[in-house]
Structure 1
Amino acid sequence: MSETTGVLRTAVLVDGEMASYLTVKQDGPVVLLLHGTYWSRVWLPVLGRMAAAGLRPVAVDFPGMGRSGGELTRETATVPALADWTTRFAAALKISGPIAVAGHDIGGAVAQHLVAHDRLEVRRLALVNSVAYDSWPSPHVARLLDPAPTADDFLAARRQAVTTDLAGAATEQRIADYLDPWTDPRGRRSWLAMAGAADSRYTLDLVPLLRRSATPKLLIWGEDDRFEKVEYAEKFASEIPRTTLIRIPEARHIPTENAPDRIARTLAEFFRP
């Protein structure tokens, strides 16, 4: 696929486990890309295009998610804990100085935490169909927690979610790509830990800090998202200073798959120094 041109997967050791990430080997301003209840696959359609614009995208998998080693627990899967882990990942890659950060879904909460608490020197922040305010946890996620689902039930539920969230970009191959990490029990346990740790207080508590933040912010939103509704993005843009909202029509929770050219171009323009 054209979006994979020049993209490679590599890893670095963090906390004794291999942290896997997608990147393009080149010089340029680093853009750290964080996922949520999916994995780094959500960023794949835009990586090559961002690199072509002179950026160095780094899309990491959290522990136990995607292709990374380790395993999340409810304690290590909270937003503050994932923000701590992200700072250690950045240190392991020797990323220093001002960087750009983008987050999707719960990764967006982690990115907001990094900015609000000055955990990294973030020069620009982008959020793509991110959790915000009290928009989470989503009911369809909570339903998978109690009782714990069988492997077949889990995969069936995630298949339904992936198919819906991809909207018009859904193909059997793409759905299979997204589901693949969850065929591993460790991946399923890590996903359930992240879902179990979901708590809207982690984003609600950030609002006063973000209102005082001078960091430029960009929201990119699939307009037809069932749960991270565009109304949350509109509220964020109206209340948080230096925020711009870009709406993606006919896209749901993974708009990078529906409008990769437009989103990559928008991110590149926003993140270029």
Structure 2
Amino acid sequence: MSETTDTTAVRSAVRVDGESASYLTAGRQDGRPVLLLHGTYWSRVWLPVLDHLADAGLRPLAVDLPGLGRSGGELTLETGAVPALADWVARFASSLQLSGPIAVAGHDIGGAVAQHLLVHDQLDVSRLALVNSVTYDSWPVSSVARFRDPEVVAATTADEILTARRQAVTQALADAATEQRITDYLHPWTDERVRRSWMAMVGAADNRYTRDAVPALRQNTTPKLLVWGEDDDFQKVEYAERFASEMPHTTLIRIPDAGHIPTENAPDQIGRVLAGFFTA
């Protein structure tokens, strides 16, 4: 692994659709599984809290979606859409032979995938956690939405993508933005295939998937937890407040002085909160 955070996490892989699906995990194989889904970043966002979950007796599985992070394959506009990504996550769980209720957490667009899995019963989701996730019509943000234009995609160079990603990562990490951490986060985008997959995912970004989920979420009794960095400029905390007020059995935990990737700003606090929620 290129990740530099001190952790007992290990990187492993399983075959899904004939391609390698890479994931970070920690703890015992017989622990209760927790699927951790990323969005426009990669599994690195979950690394700071994996040991907390493992120490609670859980089996965290932070997977890289196809074509992103360390996973093989390549996304297209079709396979990068939320329903297709949710289908893929269900196949990933099946490849690991995960059975019974599964806790799911999602960050960024991974939160849209998690919501889709819940309301469409693609997995037996026992608990849902959203960490600075997209909700309602909160996305795509302007820095991502421009890549929905094929002409913009065709005219964008590799250096421009890396520069844009560096700016986004630096802003998302907030006070945790050291040069080493930024380098860790950016490393996958040095691969042309990952850049193409990322542009396919953001090109397919469509808030109708989270808007369409709202009626079912309002009727859903699955316990839900929102963990939110209050200083997030991408996914405003006001959306989390609205979600918590409208969706039953939802608790909101606000993380002060934290940005879009609060797991890096307050790993111990968030790790304890997530572990407590998933083991309740």
TM over 0.5: yes
Letter in 1 for 2:75: L
Name 2:105's counterpart in structure 1.
102
- The residue identity in structure 2 corresponding to 1:29 is R
Asked whether 1:29 is paired with 2:32, we answer yes
Q: CA deviation at 1:4?
A: 4.0
**2:231 matched to which residue of 1?**
224
**TM-score with structure 1 setting the length:** 0.98
Question: What is the CA distance between 1:5 and its match in structure 2?
Answer: 2.7
Tell me which residue corresponds to 2:194.
187
Distance in 1, Cα, partners of 2:136 & 2:262: 20
Find the aligned partners of 2:31 and 2:160 in 1 and give their Cα distance: 44
Structure 1 residue 33: Cα displacement: 0.2
Deviations 1:117-153 (A, max 9, x none): 1110011000000000000010011234541210001
Q: Give the equivalent residue in structure 1 for 2:85.
A: 82
Match among 110, 114, 121 for residue 111 of structure 1: 114
Give the aligned partner of residue 132 of structure 2: 129
Equivalent residue for 1:64, pick from 62, 67, 82: 67
Q: Equivalent of 1:196, from 203, 207, 212?
A: 203
Alignment deviations for residues 153-185 of structure 1 (CA, whole Å, 9 cap, x no partner): 110011011001000000001000010000000
Matched, 1:19 2:26: no
SS in 2 for 1:143: helix
1:163 paired to 2:178: no
8 Å CA contact 1:3–1:49 kept in 2: the answer is no
* Greater CA drift, 38-47 or 49-58: 49-58
Q: Does 1:152 align with 2:159?
A: yes
- Corresponding residue SS for 1:12: strand
Structure 2 residue 276 is matched with structure 1 residue 269: yes
Q: Is the 8 A contact 2:106 2:129 kept in 1?
A: yes
Distance, in Å, in 2 between the alignment partners of 1:139 and 1:17 is 32
Change (3 A) 1:13 1:2: closer
Distance, in Å, in 2 between the alignment partners of 1:199 and 1:4 is: 36
CA deviations 1:68-96 (Å, max 9, x no partner) are 00000010011100000000000000000
TM-score (norm 2): 0.95
**4+ runs of 1 displaced by more than 6 Å?**
none
Aligned with 2:140: secondary structure?
coil
User: Percent identity between the aligned chains?
Assistant: 71
Give ranges in structure 1 of 5+ residues lacking alignment.
none
1:2 to partner: Cα distance = 9.4
How many residues matched? 273
* Aligned counterparts of 2:116 and 2:93: Cα–Cα separation in 1: 15
